[in-house]
Amino acid sequence: MKKLDAIDKFIISEMIKDGRIKYTTLAEKLKVTPAAIKERVEKLLKLQVIKPSVLLNQAFFFPLTAVIGIEADSDCIKILAKKFRNCPLVVSFTKTSGMHNLILHVVTKNIQQLESFLNNQVRAEPGIRHVEVNIGDASSSSEFIPIKIYTKTSEYAPCGIRYNDEKRCLDCPVFEKE
């Protein structure tokens, strides 16, 4: 892995604060040309050190947050990881060692949607040994997070569940009508 120098780190830190910061503003702060900033940003993009994206206000979409620890056999963990990769309720997940071997960060509209997710998508999976849930509200986590938004309704959710399947999550965002 290539090391980042102080200029790259400064550019990244400023872009984290304001992703729309102008190259001219960065250039003035660093006393370099805007072209030099553009070149560095393009290099960081090409090396996949950074990726432009939009973060959404969690409280606006999903006021409830939960961290879910799952203990399951390795085949089950592989299935869950694949199932949750594009789930609109799963902000992130990590395969771990220790008490749990999969940790999910989930956002939901309410406790009923969380229970539906847990019962239909987690606990129903063969190979689950133990599930531990810690619930919080949106104010206790980052205000802006990378939430997945789906604009076209589909017959299938990213997890493979059909719209009319009784095992689908309550109010799955993929199936929302405008």
Q: What is the pLDDT of residue 56?
A: 86
Task: Note whether 133 and 118 are within 8 A (CB).
Answer: yes
DSSP string computed for 85-151: TT-TTEEEEEE--SS-SEEEEEEESSHHHHHHHIIIIITTSTTEEEEEEEEEEGGGS-SEE------
Q: Give residue 177's pLDDT.
A: 65
Which tokens go with 81? Answer: 């990881």
- What's the predicted TM-score (pTM) here? 0.80
User: What are the chain's domains?
Assistant: 6-46 (1.10.10.10), 56-175 (3.30.70.920)
Average pLDDT, the chain: 89
**pLDDT tens digit string along 137-177?**
766 556 787 777 776 667 788 888 888 888 888 888 888 76
**31-49 per-position pLDDT tens digit:** 999 999 999 999 999 999 9
Are the CB atoms for 110 and 135 separated by under 8 Å?
Answer: no
Q: Are 49 and 90 in contact (CB under 8 A)?
A: no
Percent pLDDT > 70 in the chain is 94
